[in-house]
Amino acid sequence: MFKQELKQWIYSAAIRAFKTIAQTAVSLITVGSLFTDVDWVGIISISITAGIASLLTSAAGLPEINEL
């Protein structure tokens, strides 16, 4: 049973982290910027940091997983 709960937590946490990464990247891209003017390295590093923070926050608990 623990294995199934762990699998569900990893799946849910990964989805949250991916959504956080995508939302952070979209928010950092300035509207009207040229493709070449965007600081892609900065956007990627900030987005990955936000994803790591999301995973650490998920360690405290995920509301979509039923706690026993």
Domain for residue 68, yes or no?
no
For range 46-66, the mean pLDDT: 89
What tokens appear for 5 in the block?
């709960």
Q: What is the pLDDT of residues 3-29, one digit of tens each?
A: 888 899 899 999 999 999 999 999 998
Contacts of 52 (CB under 8 A, 6+ apart): 17
Give the total residue count for the chain: 68
Is residue 2 assigned to a domain? no
Domain that holds residue 54: 14-28+36-60
Note whether residue 66 is domain-resident.
no
pLDDT band of 67, cuts 50, 70, 90: low
On whether residue 8 sits in a domain, the answer given is no
Say what the pTM is: 0.83
Examine residue 51 and state whether it is found in any structural domain, yes or no: yes
Q: How far apart are CA 28 and CA 55, in angstroms?
A: 20
Residue 37 reports pLDDT greater than 50: yes
List, as one string, the DSSP characters of 7-39: HHHHHHHHHHHHHHHHHHHHHHSPTT--GGGS-
Residue 52 in any domain: the answer is yes
Within a domain: residue 40? yes
Residue 52 in this model has a pLDDT that exceeds 70 = yes
In a domain, 53, yes or no: yes
Domain count, the chain: 1
